[in-house]
Structure 1
Amino acid sequence: MTSAKPAPYSHDEVHLIPTTSQAIIQQTWTNNREEWGKTLDLATYHAREVVLANQEFTNNSKLQVWVLVPKTFDPENPDLGLILSAVETFLRPGMVATKELGVRDVASLSVASVFTPAHYRGYGYGSLMMRLLWSRIEQMDSVEFTFLYSDVGPIFYARMGWDPKRSEEIVIPTDFSLPASGCTVTLDNVTDQSLGNLVALDAQQLRETMKVQIETTTDFTALAAVTPEPTCLQWLHVRSRFVAAHVLKLEQHEITSLGARDQASNSFVLWFHDLVKSQLFIVRWRVDPSANQAETVCALMSAAQAEAKKWSLTKVVIWNPEQSLGDILGLEIAYRDSAIPSLGLTVSSPTTSRIEWVMNEKYSW
């Protein structure tokens, strides 16, 4: 939508630049706090962002901030009021599978924190920034796909190359009675210490799944997945722990349980505590085909419910589950109109509508 008012700067007068300037980055936080930090005071919001930006998942240039600014903008002596729009990208490992080349390890780029200050909206700056970012990503030889989660519907980002994918969820209230299964499944708690080995096994299983799927499918010309890595999950838990200690100021704030694993199979669940929105997110879910499906599902979900209750959360949420999970639980798989997963391929290859996003779960968010 174009404003009837004259734009402060024409599109020819602005450009997109990466920045490492702390003054500029902190101003982008101040700007976007009105969207993603409404419940936090400015100092606490900045403190959280500093902590998150200094994790292994984000350091060594894996997190990059980009700003759309006038071409006259001086990064060394910036006028911080001239940040027209901003966005962050995260460099992450991925896998791509095709019949011709099999499964390959590649780099991927996730896009987040797209934000235009209110007084600069209506001039097309957000759209321009994303088109320019797409062009910059295409120039990164090592990056083969990029993805984001849209809160503005499926069309806006699709126009620029990010194709919307499956966006469904099951919501399980913590007081929901799970089906009786005569459960004999014994679970181990997943902790910081055991997370690395479990995630390595998950990545290996994902590779094997993609290999079999690409060899047998005729529905898709390529598969893409974000490779599981412990640093991403640790980043999520640092976020939860910060909220528990410094936002909600809980007396007991140390989150120690990161998931649950079946002792007898490769089945497991990994979760993330969204304490502000009172929900436990399932970030990764795997039920071994060799396991008793109903018993294992109920055991893992019961563990998730117990963890949610421990933190007084009202529900457990899982994104893009298999239909079999809904059938076992007796719950509906519903369309989700926010955080719509959107995938873009940056190399000359099939269109994204012919690519399946494997492991399209909360993990990649």
Structure 2
Amino acid sequence: MTAVASFAHEDIRLIRAHSPDIIQQTWTNNRVEWGPSLDEETYYARERILASQEFTRDNKLQVWILVPKTFDSTKPQLDLILSAVETFERSGILASKDQGLKDVLSISVASVFTPAHYRGRGYASLMMKLLWREISNMKGVSFSFLYSDVGPTFYGRLGWTPKRSEEIIIPTAHTIQNSSSAAATDGDTSGEHNSMTVEKVTDSNLSELIAADAEQVRTLLKAQIETASPSKMFAVVTPEPTCVLWLHARARFAAQHILKLEQYQITEWGAKQGKSFVLWFHDLFKDQLFIIRWYLDPIEGDETARALIEAAQTEARKWKLSKVVMWNPDQSLVDLLQLEIKYRDSAIPSLGLVNSTLEPDNVEWVHNEKYSWC
């Protein structure tokens, strides 16, 4: 077996990848981790579709590669891509008592991957250090975030501090008790059917709903900074329809081209009742419907919450999914569902302010939900 070259860290650099051949090579490398059951052409097709969405077009998605300083992008030695990472440009808001609300840019980080034969040499750590430096020099960028699958420590020492990482798993067969069922006798806890009718969220009303949600986020932030200490900072990834559409493009490709389901038309993206709503994502490979965004208006109560969760359960059953998963739920919803909060050791949300001296513990990630993951 040919020995793999090793490079001193001072002889390595991080560069943007523009060439389709180089970008495709990063897909070839990471397919072993994120698409091992797919043939190369299917995997490439999925990545091309995802890269062509409004969410990722116009340089919102950038691919970075760690390479030797001698690497020539015009005549690249593709086997010398030591590690790679993707970044996405996202709209965000920072809020504090002193500064009020400020619209900013944020950078989400994804697809960190080092080929197996290059591991154990500190390349991934070096790449993330260099990437943090690049992000810090980007005009208008105020924070960055990612989701760690290697625990809280690795990225925590490189600028991205782990934040709340909880979830609940709602089986599709789980019955949500109402006040009548909770008082039932003889062990009858089957509950009663919720008769509230919810409105479907589809392509026709998604943008309007998310625009209203973005205003609701601002209202929440204004209320939070009024009672917060001056040293407290709140960060939020602004809700926008493009990230939801990206997630659904991913689900549709999986349904149609990978699983080859006869019924692959995913047309319902959530449910709403009054100002309250739930948005979801069909995670078909992991047998789950993911709640990506949840909002319950303060004046709407348990009946609305039940109706929205039951709508998600119904959608999951339609696709033969066994569970509904939700990140970082409110305690009131957990109590209503009578389920246990679990701490997860993967997809750990991690966030860091750029060019800031504020202590990480004084930064709160608002609406730390799945919609930011895309």
TM over 0.5: yes
Residue type of the alignment partner of 1:337: D
Shift in Å at residue 180 of structure 1? 3.0
Aligned partner of 2:124 in structure 1 is 126
Shift in Å at residue 352 of structure 1? 2.0
Aligned partner of 1:352 in structure 2 is 360
SS in structure 2 at match of 1:231? helix
Change (3 A) 1:76 1:250: same
2:6 aligned to 5, 8, 20, which one?
Answer: 8
Distance 1:49 1:276 in 2: 16
Does residue 23 of the first structure (1) align with residue 36 of the second (2)?
A: no
SS in structure 2 at match of 1:276? helix
1:54 aligned to 52, 55, 69, which one?
Answer: 52
Does residue 66 of the first structure (1) align with residue 64 of the second (2)?
A: yes
Q: Deviations over 1:308-353 (max 9, x none)?
A: 0000001000000011111000001110110000001003241222
Distance 1:266 1:220 in 2: 32
Distance 2:95 2:140 in 1: 16
Distance 1:283 1:349 in 2: 31
Given that 1:110 and 1:147 are in contact with CA atoms closer than 8 Å, whether structure 2 keeps it comes out as yes
Distance 1:213 1:41 in 2: 49
Given that 1:68 and 1:83 are in contact with CA atoms closer than 8 Å, whether structure 2 keeps it comes out as yes
Q: Deviations over 1:28-81 (max 9, x none)?
A: 000000111112111100000000000000000000000000000000110000
Given that 2:97 and 2:228 are in contact with CA atoms closer than 8 Å, whether structure 1 keeps it comes out as no
Given that 1:179 and 1:329 are in contact with CA atoms closer than 8 Å, whether structure 2 keeps it comes out as yes
Aligned partner of 1:289 in structure 2 is 298
Distance 1:160 1:348 in 2: 14
Aligned partner of 1:239 in structure 2 is 250
1:329 aligned to 331, 334, 337, which one?
Answer: 337
Distance 1:229 1:347 in 2: 26
SS in structure 1 at match of 2:205? helix
Ranges of 4+ aligned residues in structure 1 off by more than 6 Å = none
Shift in Å at residue 186 of structure 1? 2.5
Distance 1:241 1:10 in 2: 44
Alignment of 1:164-183 (within 5 A): 164-180=162-178, 183=194
Given that 2:200 and 2:269 are in contact with CA atoms closer than 8 Å, whether structure 1 keeps it comes out as yes
Given that 1:280 and 1:313 are in contact with CA atoms closer than 8 Å, whether structure 2 keeps it comes out as yes
Distance 2:53 2:283 in 1: 19
Alignment of 1:312-323 (within 5 A): 312-323=320-331
Residue type of the alignment partner of 1:204: E
Does residue 270 of the first structure (1) align with residue 268 of the second (2)?
A: no
Q: Which runs of 5+ in 2 are unaligned?
A: 180-191
Residue type of the alignment partner of 1:21: S
Given that 2:231 and 2:358 are in contact with CA atoms closer than 8 Å, whether structure 1 keeps it comes out as no
Distance 2:4 2:25 in 1: 25
Shift in Å at residue 277 of structure 1? 0.7
Q: Which runs of 5+ in 1 are unaligned?
A: none
Aligned partner of 1:191 in structure 2 is 202
Aligned partner of 1:112 in structure 2 is 110
Given that 1:95 and 1:225 are in contact with CA atoms closer than 8 Å, whether structure 2 keeps it comes out as yes
Aligned partner of 2:157 in structure 1 is 159
Given that 2:281 and 2:291 are in contact with CA atoms closer than 8 Å, whether structure 1 keeps it comes out as yes
Q: Deviations over 1:92-136 (max 9, x none)?
A: 100000111111110000000000000000000000000000011
Aligned partner of 2:259 in structure 1 is 248
Distance 1:44 1:108 in 2: 31
Change (3 A) 1:73 1:170: same
SS in structure 2 at match of 1:157? helix
Shift in Å at residue 184 of structure 1? 4.8
Aligned partner of 1:299 in structure 2 is 307
TM normalised by structure 1 equals 0.96
Given that 1:172 and 1:316 are in contact with CA atoms closer than 8 Å, whether structure 2 keeps it comes out as yes
Distance 2:309 2:223 in 1: 28
Residue type of the alignment partner of 2:349: P
SS in structure 2 at match of 1:193? coil
1:150 aligned to 128, 131, 148, which one?
Answer: 148
Given that 1:150 and 1:339 are in contact with CA atoms closer than 8 Å, whether structure 2 keeps it comes out as yes
Distance 1:42 1:326 in 2: 42
Aligned partner of 1:213 in structure 2 is 224
Does residue 339 of the first structure (1) align with residue 337 of the second (2)?
A: no
Aligned pair count reads 358
Distance 1:329 1:348 in 2: 40
Residue type of the alignment partner of 2:9: H
Over the matched positions of the two proteins, sequence identity in percent amounts to 61
